[in-house]
Each structure stands twice: as structure tokens, then as C-alpha cells.
Amino acid sequence: MSNTDDEPDLGPGAVPFKPDLTHPASSQPASPDPWVSPSAGQTGPRHSAEQPTGPWGSVPPGRNGPWEGTRPRSPLGPPAPESAPGPTAPMRAAAPMPASHAPEPEHTAPRPPLGPPGPPSAPARTATPPPWYAGQVQPGPLPYATMPMPLAGQPSGPPSGPPAGQPPGRSRLPGWVWPTVAILALVVGLVGGALGGAAYDALRGRDTATDTTSQADDGTGPLNAGNRSVSAVAKRLLPSTVQVIASYQGVAGGATGSGFVLDRQGHIVTNNHVVADSAASGEPIQVVDQDGNRYDAELVGRSPVYDLAVLYSADVERLRPAALGSSSRLQVGDEVVAIGSPLGLTSTVTAGIVSAVNRPVTTGQSSDDMSYINAVQTDAAINPGNSGGPLVNLRGQVVGVNSAIATTGASTEVSGNIGVGFAIPIEQVRVTAQQILDDGEARYPVIGATVETATNDGEGARVDEVPDGTPAATAGLEPDDLITRIDGVRVTDGIALIVAIRSHLPGDAVELTLVRDGSERRVRVVLDSKVG
């Protein structure tokens, strides 16, 4: 089945975006209500020296450096799996550093490292993903096999001569035997060849069956099985990837990042932290395509909670939209490709593997811009400027949005790539982008209680406050309850719980397992929603 020119094949189960071109006014994300914010006096989650920093580069005037993953006590938005070492989101300095990068004169070339990086921190435990992230990856196609052709019995070697008593040149076998053997050998050979061909076709069919919906003409479907390489992915995705330049305080390029074309209507996906300052001050945003052409862009909407933003530019309607895949099908060890503009170097391609899935990551400096990501971890090189760019599988489909990197120390300075990068799963990107296209804003699920996020003893998420009238209060949660599971999946701390909750949708019902006064009980909570 082939796609039409108007609706590219976005991968199995994908629904193409059909946005209304009349964009709702870009609304500023509402400040989180007190009952969904960290407890008073808790500035952020505790982070270690190894906490990741966002892939941002230098930050605009008045900003601290790239973020380091802080662990503020935050409301229970959808919890997430066990938190991993606080990666620095590509946002500001206290949390993982955003991949956006404020260009400097030397951005045209990477800076030499100031010193050898310290040893990477021990990876945090990965929590089991919530149900809708738990899809198992389908095993890859078996390699093509050929079946050996059966051979007629062969003598070990020619006889040295005719048997004694037998005239030379005469066979001791009756004359009808050899024609019969020849016919049998031919029949066996034909059958063996047919079986071998059938086996080859069957295995090849298994390898290409999932590509039957691809469209070879317009380049929007998955790459053919025989053409899955980093170079093929680069050729397919580079025309769909752009550099995002957001001015700040009158400085052109106050922050730079990356993005990719979402649909044929001119919408572009990037990280919120790339455009947040520009959007707040009403300053211009531009995008640059592979050929260096610059186009004006406008903000459609953004979500600080999920660190995503959608832009619109009529001039990029001619650019090919990227095909969207599925991050839930990823397996550790799968090859992936990161594309973007690290350190201002446009159209840069790096490759690596999926290092982990469902990795709880926090980014941001305060409760107002804190993001909780159930991330795909990769060792593909990601640096300041990669933020908002696509993470792509070898089928040529976007499986995540590069958003944060880990650093080796507590310093707010960006240390650059150390092989620990994080991407927002494409499933979350689909949902949030569609909400923004429909309403100009995104909504995220909450249970209404606040939990402690500054501690990580691995026991669970400790409830701090339960305001009246919230879903948590309705379900019977009480302060000091220890939440240990959500829908049967273990959570080790407050960050893991929040990430897991935010993997759901507002209105979903979840089952929380908690311990109170030494006794275990289960409660059902219907998730409320907040704008952010």
C-alpha cells in the first residue's frame, strides 16, 4: 500500500497530522499550581556530580549555563520508571543541559576539551516502563538463508581400473542403471533447488513484509530492507532536518538548536528550551534548511513539561516531512542516528546504539520549566545545538527528539558529548504536538499530590501533601504514604513516579500500590490534567 503525496507513511500505527492551518494563539504555559509543585523550600531534586546536563550550548545573557538535572520535589504528574542519574536536560544549567546552543564566534568548529572527562557515573536503575511504553521490539528478520542442493552419491575417487575378469571399458552394472541414476539426480536437484528458493523467498518475505506500506517514490516511507545504512538514513533525513535560530535580547541566534519537518503544512518540531526565551520576549525565530536557506518561523505552541515546541513556516511546506516510527519497538543495541546542528555545525550526522530505554530523566532549573522525560538513552554523539533534532532508526523513521546530555561533573559548564544522550520518545512527541496543533497548548496528567524528589533510597515515592479535591485525595491517598508501584510496575522514587504518570493521558485511570503503616494496599486514581 503506498502513501499519497499529501500523507506520508509515518510508520506502523501512525496517524498523519492533519492540522488546521489557522493556528490558535500561542499560549504561555501556565505556572504549575501549588498542589502540583515541589514542596516549599525544596529547590530541586538532588543531583550528583554525574548528573547529565542538557545539550544546550552557551546560554543567552542573564542565564546560567546548561541545566543539570535537579530533583525538585514535584507534583505527581504521571510518574515514571525509576529515575536514572539526573541527566542534564538540554535546558539550563542545573538540569540536564539542553542541546540548544547559543552560538559564539568559535561555533563554526568544535571547541577542544579543557581536560580529559572524568569516568562516567554509574548508571541508575532503569524503571520498568508504563504499559503504553512497554511494547516489545519485534525481532529483526532472519538473515537470508540458502538451502544446499542435495547431491547424488559421489564416489570417493575414480576406480584405478576395471575389476579383475572384466573387459576394459565395460561397466559391471546393468546398462539401465546409469540413465536411472541420472534422472533421479536431476529430480532431486530440481526439488532441492525449489525448496531452497522457497526458503529464500520465505525468509526474504519476512524481512520485507513490514515494508509493504512504504512508498519508494516520495521518500516518506521506511527505507527498503536492503538499503538500511547510516548513509541511507542521512540522505533520507537531512532534507527534513532544520537548524532553529531563536533571537534573544536583540542578539540574533541567542539560542540555536535543531528541528525536523512534521508535515506538509509547514510545521516543525523542536525542543521548548530552544525557543523559550525568544517566545517569551516575542523575538524572531528562523529556521535554516540543508541548503542554507533561511525562513522566518512563528511559534504555534510549546510545552515546558515535555520540553517540546511546534513552529510554523509557510516556506518549508516544500520540504519533505520526516517519517515517524515507534520508540516502543526499540531494543537495547539497536542502531540509531542523530541529526542536527551541534555547535552551530549544520547538517551533522552521528551514529550509535540505543543504550537504554524508559530512562527517567529530569531537566530544568525550577518547577516552572522542569521537564520529566521517559527517555531513550543513546551513545550517538549529542552536543549543544542537537536539541530538537531527530533520533532516527535505520528504517529512516524518527523514534525520538534529542533533548539532553549527561555531564561528568557538577559544574554548570557544558562538557560536550560523553556518550550519554537522551531523547524524548516519539510517542510522546505525537501526542503533545497534536495537542498543540489542535489547541495551541499541551496538557499533562497529574494525580494532585506532591511527592518527595530530593531523596532516592530506592524504596518508592513518598507522598508529601494531598490537597483536598484532588484525584489523590479522592482516591484516599494520605501524607507519608509510600507509593511502590503504578499499574504493577515498580517505582523507586518520586521522579520515577512522575515520569510514569506523565507517560499516560489525562483521564486515564491508574492503579497505585502503596504502603501505609506497614500494610500494602491498592488504590485507583483517575488522572486530572494541567496545561504546561
Name the DSSP letter for residue 172. S
Q: Which three cell numbers stand for residue 488?
A: 504493577
Widest pairwise Cα distance in the chain: 112
Is residue 523 within a helix (H) or strand (E), and if so which, with residue range? strand 519-526
Is 387 a known active-site residue? Answer: yes
- Could you say which of 100, 367, 387, 415 is catalytic? 387
Q: Assess contact for 97 and 47: CB atoms under 8 A.
A: no
Rounded Cα gap, residues 391 and 397, in angstroms: 8
Residue 373: closest CA among 88, 57, 124: 88
- Could you say which of 107, 267, 273, 504 is catalytic? 273
Rounded Cα gap, residues 449 and 72, in angstroms: 14
Residue 499: closest CA among 87, 110, 202: 87
Residue 234 has a CB neighbour count (10 Å cut-off) of 18
User: Could you write out the DSSP letters of every residue in 336-366?
Assistant: EEEEE-GGG--SEEEEEEEEEEEEEEEE-SS
- Could you say which of 307, 379, 464, 528 is catalytic? 307
Those residues whose C-beta lies under 8 Å from the C-beta of residue 396, and which sit 6 or more positions away, are 222, 223, 228, 232, 233, 236, 237, 323
Is 23 a known active-site residue? Answer: no
Name the DSSP letter for residue 301. E
Block residue for cell numbers 507522598: 463
- Give the gyration radius of the chain's Cα atoms: 29
One-letter amino acid at 337 equals V
Rounded Cα gap, residues 242 and 230, in angstroms: 18
Rounded Cα gap, residues 436 and 24, in angstroms: 9
Residue 386: HSE in the Cβ half-sphere, 13 Å Cα cutoff: 32
Just list the catalytic residues: 273, 307, 387
